[in-house]
Amino acid sequence: MKKLILTAAFAAFSLVAFQACNNSGSSSAEVENTDVVPSGTYNGTADKVDPDEKEVYVKTSDGKMLELYFTEQTKLTQNGQTATFDALKEGQNLEVTVEKKGNRLEPMAVNIMQ
């Protein structure tokens, strides 16, 4: 009985450790040191795109890193047409209109320039 409990405990924690390592190596790892900028429109490139979180990191032309989580209000366009999040790829040039709410940047409009 004692061996069974210990084996079960090791199995459980091996699973937890595997899951934890898997999390840390996932594509959704956060980028540190993002910036908060005033409301406005900015040009930059898509540094990292996370489809699972519907999140994009935009590196602006003046070197700021903006972390943008898409909401239901966010309008994504490409060539003047409404686009889905799948159209966003890393390295694309973007024009983003953001609204600063506290220390959060809400993307109101994102235009894929290329």
Contacting residues toward other proteins, per CB under 8 A: 2, 6, 9-10, 12-13, 16-17, 19-20, 30, 53, 67, 69, 71, 101-104, 106
Q: Which is nearer to other proteins, 84 or 103 (CB)?
A: 103
Q: Which is nearer to other proteins, 72 or 86 (CB)?
A: 72
CA distance between the termini of the chain: 64
Tell the smallest beta-carbon distance from residue 73 to other proteins (Å): 10
Q: Which is nearer to other proteins, 86 or 101 (CB)?
A: 101
